[in-house]
A and B are shown apart, each in its own frame.
Chain A
Amino acid sequence: MWRDALLVAGKDLKIELRSKVGLGQVVPFALVVLLLFGLALGPGVGRGSVLFSAEPGLFWIAVLLATVLAVQRSFAVEAVDDASDGLRLSGLDPAGIFVGKAAAIGCQLLVLELVLALVSSLLYDRHLEGGLLLAGSCVVATVGLVSIGTVYGVVSLGARQRETLLPLLFFPMVAPVLLAATKAWDAALSGSPGHGLGWLDVLAVFAVAYLAIGTVAFGPLLEDA
């Protein structure tokens, strides 16, 4: 399974490196979202401003929006030229395909989160403190996000209305992840990482649950896509 996962992840990342859709479109899109938040809630700067106190939430909303795009992109690649048939006939373990695709999206998201964290800290004037908790919650939350995103990505793969279906399915499911990740970030940034550890546990629970769901459900869903 792990070898298959590596193969699929390698394939997806190679496609990304060659096409640069993630870097050229998804990252700029997320940056635009951060700017729009600034226009909607600004222009205050520094402690006490709306942007300052809302920074964790705005960061994670931007990440969620970008995740939908990344997942859509990952499955758009499979939809053209019947590539998904090739994937199905390849004899790879479906759980491996799931982990591979999720890992490839996860790698892209982590890069995106790094960029967004720096830019949002700059734009909203909030220093990145508690780096370990920030990084930890990013990794664990990303596992949860990409797991459930990949499951719904393959559900909407066969649907003609996939652009609209995926966000409808995805956002309600990741609401707990958004909540926990925002709280963990808030705790880290306000200098009390101890409060964030409980939320890190919540993130871990959802990450494990969604990973388990995906590993089991991906095979039959891919068959039907």
Chain B
Amino acid sequence: MSLVTTPVGLDSAPPPGAPAESGTSTSARPPAETGRSRSALVLRLVGAVALVGVVATVWLGLWVTPPDQFMGNLVRLLYLHPSIAWVMYVAYGVAFLSSLLYLWPRTRSLRWDKLAGASSEVGVVFTGLTLVTGSIWGRPTWGAWWTWDPLLTTTALLFVLYLGYLAVRRIPGDSEVRARRSAIAALIAFVDVPICYFSVLWWRSLHQAPSVDDPVNGKTYIHGSMAWTLLLSFVSFTLVYVWLLVHRYRLFGLAEREEGEGLALAIEERRAESQVPSR
């Protein structure tokens, strides 16, 4: 599936073929619809840029950049792995903040709940990818697919913690109740994120500390095309995250609407059934 397609039949915005770009017809539409089609266009643009960025990262990483002085060709996997891990942290950070905003009485809105759910779902996917890419890198470098390094262990824990959070989200019930319960679960699960992030600094073990930039000595260890490729990778994967997040968020909204409309439809049907015998 192309990155730029919208979920067919589930999109609240006009269908992909709708002429969002034709300036003449938009003026005749109600303002809300115009805004929605514009946001759909922006989202499609984000998707397209993300796709181009990821493809360019792969191209630069595999063909253009030189092999590393110490790691040789293995360094090419490092154009993916740190940026995927970065997205994982961003996703959990967003989930944490939006859960906090949901619990704060002044900003309480189910929108924050949906955002937290969407973000942690994307986060779980990226945690899985972090573990897989790290494992592929670890096999030739450390000689094992898995080691009990603090960073690896805490990342694996993050994966299961947020799987648990997603399971909590699936407990049926009133949406307000579910939102509050999941927000608390998200705050608890987030305990592991700082432990995971700082574990390389706290316990200097197998996994290297951040090697792009050394904040302690104020040095940068990566230069030229390698630096640019890594930067591009960070930007593109962040855009992929944004694209997935918005789509997941909208899917939550649509599922909610479907639930509501499905209920109304069922009531309608029962009513129609009850009227048949009386005639």
Q: Which residues of A contact B (CB under 8 A)?
A: 148, 151, 155-156, 158-161, 165, 168-169, 171-173, 175-176, 209, 213, 217, 220-221, 224
Q: Are B172 and A224 in contact (CB under 8 A)?
A: no
Q: List 5 A-B pairs, Cβ < 8 Å.
A: A148-B188, A165-B168, A168-B160, A172-B160, A173-B188
Q: Report A-chain residues with C-beta under 8 Å of the C-beta of B185.
A: 155, 169
Q: Report A-chain residues with C-beta under 8 Å of the C-beta of B75.
A: none
Given the complex of chains A and B, what is the CA–CA distance between A93 and B208 in angstroms? 48
Q: Interface code B165-204, partner A: CB below 8 Å = 1, 0 otherwise? A: 0011001110001001100110110011001000000000
Q: Are A169 and B181 in contact (CB under 8 A)?
A: no
Given the complex of chains A and B, what is the CA–CA distance between A172 and B161 in angstroms? 6
Q: Report A-chain residues with C-beta under 8 Å of the C-beta of B181.
A: 155, 221, 224
Sort chain B's interface into a size bin.
Answer: 20 to 34
For B191, give its contact among A158, A165, A209, A224 (CB under 8 Å). Answer: A209
Q: Which residue of A lies closest to B183 (CB)?
A: A220
Q: Report B-chain residues with C-beta under 8 Å of the C-beta of A221.
A: 181, 184
Q: Report A-chain residues with C-beta under 8 Å of the C-beta of B191.
A: 173, 209
Q: Are A224 and B177 in contact (CB under 8 A)?
A: yes
**Known pairs A151-B188, A217-B188, A224-B177; A165 contacts B171 (CB<8 A):** yes
Q: Which residue of A lies closest to B178 (CB)?
A: A224
Q: Report B-chain residues with C-beta under 8 Å of the C-beta of A160.
A: 171-172
* 9 A-B pairs with least C-beta separation: A224-B177, A159-B171, A169-B164, A172-B160, A172-B161, A168-B164, A217-B184, A172-B157, A224-B181
Q: Are B173 and A220 in contact (CB under 8 A)?
A: no
Q: Which residue of A lies closest to B185 (CB)?
A: A155
Q: Report B-chain residues with C-beta under 8 Å of the C-beta of A217.
A: 184, 187-188
Is B97 close to A, CB under 8 A? no
Given the complex of chains A and B, what is the CA–CA distance between A212 and B166 in angstroms? 23
Q: Report A-chain residues with C-beta under 8 Å of the C-beta of B188.
A: 148, 151, 173, 213, 217
**Known pairs A172-B157, A173-B188; A155 contacts B168 (CB<8 A):** yes
Is B163 close to A, CB under 8 A? yes
Q: Report B-chain residues with C-beta under 8 Å of the C-beta of A172.
A: 157, 160-161, 164, 192
Given the complex of chains A and B, what is the CA–CA distance between A64 and B107 in angstroms? 38
Q: Report A-chain residues with C-beta under 8 Å of the C-beta of B192.
A: 172
Q: Are B168 and A173 in contact (CB under 8 A)?
A: no
Given the complex of chains A and B, what is the CA–CA distance between A224 and B172 in angstroms? 12
Q: Report A-chain residues with C-beta under 8 Å of the C-beta of B153.
A: 175
- The smallest C-beta distance from B28 to any residue of chain A, in angstroms, reads 47
Q: Interface code B91-121, partner A: CB below 8 Å = 1, 0 otherwise? A: 0000000000000000000000000000000
Q: Report B-chain residues with C-beta under 8 Å of the C-beta of A151.
A: 188
For B167, give its contact among A148, A168, A175 (CB under 8 Å). Answer: A168
Q: Which residue of A lies closest to B192 (CB)?
A: A172
Given the complex of chains A and B, what is the CA–CA distance between A213 and B185 in angstroms? 10
Q: Report A-chain residues with C-beta under 8 Å of the C-beta of B164.
A: 165, 168-169, 172
Q: Are B167 and A169 in contact (CB under 8 A)?
A: yes
- The smallest C-beta distance from B249 to any residue of chain A, in angstroms, reads 23
**Known pairs A155-B185, A165-B168, A172-B157; A220 contacts B163 (CB<8 A):** no
Q: Are B168 and A169 in contact (CB under 8 A)?
A: yes
Given the complex of chains A and B, what is the CA–CA distance between A205 and B251 in angstroms? 40
